[in-house]
Amino acid sequence: MNGKQSYRFLKMVQDGHRMTFGQQLMLTVQLSIPAIISQLSSILMQFIDASMVGSLGAEASASIGLVSTTTWLFGGLATACATGFYVMVSHFLGAKDTANARSVLRQSITMTLIFSFILMAAGLAVCGPLPRWLGGEEAICGDASVYFMIFILSLPFLQLNMLASGMLRSCGNMYTPTALNILMCLLDVVFNFFLIFPTRMIDIAGVSLTVPGAGLGVPGAAIGTALAYMVVAALLMRSLCIKSPELRLTQEKGSFRPTKKCFVNAMKIALPMGCERVVMCGAQIMSTVIVAPLGTIAIAANSFAITAESICYMPGYGISNAATTLVGQSIGAGRKELTWRFANISVWMGIAVMAIMGVVMYVTAPFIMGIMTPVDEVVDLGARILRIEAFAEPMYAAAIVVYGVFVGAGSTLASSIMNLASIWGVRLSLAAVLAPRYGLEGVWIAMCIELCFRGAIFLFRLYRKKWLG
């Protein structure tokens, strides 16, 4: 896609020029495609970790799966913190106020880093007993605890990654975060290759080679991912603070000291999202607690299926990111009618793409699971639950993309409440009823029903238009 054309179209948004439907559609596609690729590369990292660790056996896979919802909790809080700042920057850029946009960027670096160190301290305090709190078997608790500890130590780099990626997307630059996320995925493969497995002999075209390896197993996967975060965070911050035409900080001097006004404005967006992430990830942790008594095979299948399903819904998150940028800049430019058109285009594009992905997931479920683990019982159970979830993908897309629209508008409180009511009131209630009778399939039936319900209520709020102000 043509990056220069995207900038030209965004300039039309900022300058108040009339845009045809074709131009609106083209801009949405141009911003969505790199965002989708970026999201897919991120989930591919999880897929690679799961596949490489999966070759070590079901217990190794279960040790990562046990703490995966908690790592999402901490990662989600870091995301919410970054979002509060880059949505503000999007609005300033839409209003062509680059001076205030750069001021927010400076302050955001300070505040998000402070927040990430607070999160790191909290995570380190619980990393020891966490696997046992989650109901894990003794055989997997040691690896699960070490994996979570290493992830927590990498949080400041993950926080900078999220902040820089969001800021660049707010400028309409989807390409740099995409390229660097792909690099992060490749680095993860390389680091894992040498850290997870021991020194071994491999055959390439009939030639035997000795490949050195650390043989760290599950901790090696965590270290490999952490190293990839570190390298890419440095490159993203360089692109943002030195090379970005709109936000580079070398253009003028300014203070990195946080102001009350910036903090309060960011928290209006970030706090509802942060609370939502806590309660929703709490719900996911409760789901893990429901799954844990079903045994190691169920834990591993659940973990692998969640990773596999992510490949299906990540395009929705990519389009959601594009919608946040488009809506944020349109609102900043004071163009409500254009905001509404971009919202509609994004939502229906997301529904169409994820409906297709749902069909692909249903057909290829056994193959996808087979890539991640050689354990037949895990493959069979994982494929069955993936096929249940495939039916929810179109409505899940509606919830994901509409949420991105509301984030771009800075309207996060009501949508956060809707997410919480749906996952706690529908998913967990049904899972608690269905799991004892239907096992892991019952948990995923509950998830499927809840995602359809959530999509419906988000569409209802979208078309009431009260979020437009």
Q: Give the model's pLDDT for residue 195.
A: 92
pLDDT at 309: 84
Question: What pLDDT sits at residue 33?
Answer: 84
Position 1 scores a pLDDT of: 45
Determine the Cα–Cα distance for residues 116 and 155; give it in Å rounded to an integer. 6
CA dist., res. 286 & res. 447, Å (int): 13
- Per-residue pLDDT tens for 357-371? 999 999 999 998 888
Query: Which pLDDT tens digit goes with each residue over 90-127?
Result: 989 988 899 999 999 999 999 999 999 999 999 999 99
What is the tally of structural domains in the chain? 1
* Residue ranges making up the domain that contains 256: 3-468
What would the two tokens of residue 119 be?
């999160």
Q: Which residue ranges of the chain lie beneath pLDDT 50?
A: 1
Burial 329-367 (b: 16+ CB within 10 A, else e): bbbbbebeebbbbbbebbbebbbebbeebbeebbebbee
pLDDT of 47: 66
Residue 3: what pLDDT?
58
